[in-house]
Amino acid sequence: MGDLVLGTSGWDYPEWVGRVYPPHGVSDRLRYYATLFPVVEVNSTFYRLPPPSVAASWVRRTPSRFRFAAKFPQTITHDLRLVGTDEELHRFLAVLKPLRDAGRLAAALLQLPPSLPFEPETVRTFYASLPSDLPVAVEFRERSWVAEASYALLREFHLANVIVDGPHLPIAADVTAPFAYVRWHGHGAPLWYDYTYSAEQLAAWVPRLRALAEEATVVYGFFNNHFRGDAAVNCRSISDLLGLAPPSAPSRLD
């Protein structure tokens, strides 16, 4: 059985104060978050790349076993649409370097735009430009990507298919890399990540996650339904169902 490592998409949400973080707040939300969960998905790198020194500070402020996933910048996925990305990729890799050097990078998340169709040669060229030792997970948001040719390229380059729970595409639990990657977006309307998963919905994912752990060396999972702190509470709930203890002493979420 592979490890199950679950967390949330982001940690720095003001509305989490009082439900996830103490009512009086904390001086360092990332440090506190790392007492609740063993991994986090960094969303901010999608919108704007920080200096590498910021990523180095993430390493210093978290325990040695804590891991980070980080989104590719939208300049690569949405602006350049995977073409002519060498300069932007170099900048992104520089930000990831402190995480990789410390052995703290879980994966880099390539979240594709819903307007980008699958074009095999473009995709092959982009995948080939990635460092062969960089763990990458790819999230499809357009139906033409859900095809055998697309999954074949993931397997060829040892990239993980992101298994998505959301309203835009069906759940496709194909394991295409040594690790598996799951994202829970929610099913809210009009904002699908403005959503609270029920106990029954979370329980239904328990056998799915255990099945993934039989195929992968590690399964990373992230809740993206951050409104009201639901992501953290849902993540703690499913972690309890799976028998996954928090990294430290019992927290406010218990």
Q: Tell me the pLDDT tens digit for each residue of 107-161.
A: 999 999 999 999 999 999 999 999 999 999 999 999 999 999 999 999 999 999 9
The H or E element spanning position 99 is: helix 86-101
Q: Give residue 167's pLDDT band: very low, low, confident or very high (50, 70, 90).
A: confident
Q: Are 225 and 196 in contact (CB under 8 A)?
A: yes
Please give the structure tokens belonging to residue 211.
Answer: 């099945």
Q: What are the pLDDT digits (tens) for 223-250? A: 999 999 999 999 999 999 999 998 865 4
Question: CATH code at 123?
Answer: 3.20.20.410
Q: Would residue 213 count as lying in a domain?
A: yes
Q: Would residue 254 count as lying in a domain?
A: no
Q: Would residue 30 count as lying in a domain?
A: yes
Mean pLDDT computed over 7-26: 95
Domain count, the chain: 1
Give the range of the structural domain holding residue 183, as residue numbers without chain letter: 3-241
Q: Would residue 249 count as lying in a domain?
A: no
**Whole-number Cα distances in Å, 223 to 10, 196, 238:** 9, 10, 10
Q: Would residue 250 count as lying in a domain?
A: no
* CA 59 – CA 213 distance, rounded (Å): 27
Q: Would residue 246 count as lying in a domain?
A: no
Q: What pTM did the predictor assign?
A: 0.95
Q: Are 61 and 28 in contact (CB under 8 A)?
A: yes
Q: Are 174 and 140 in contact (CB under 8 A)?
A: no
Residue 27 gets which letter from DSSP? Answer: S
Q: Would residue 28 count as lying in a domain?
A: yes
Q: Give residue 251's pLDDT band: very low, low, confident or very high (50, 70, 90).
A: very low
Please give the structure tokens belonging to residue 154.
Answer: 């993931």
Helices (H) and strands (E) in the chain, counts: 9, 8
Neighbours of 76 (CB within 10 A): 22
Q: Would residue 253 count as lying in a domain?
A: no
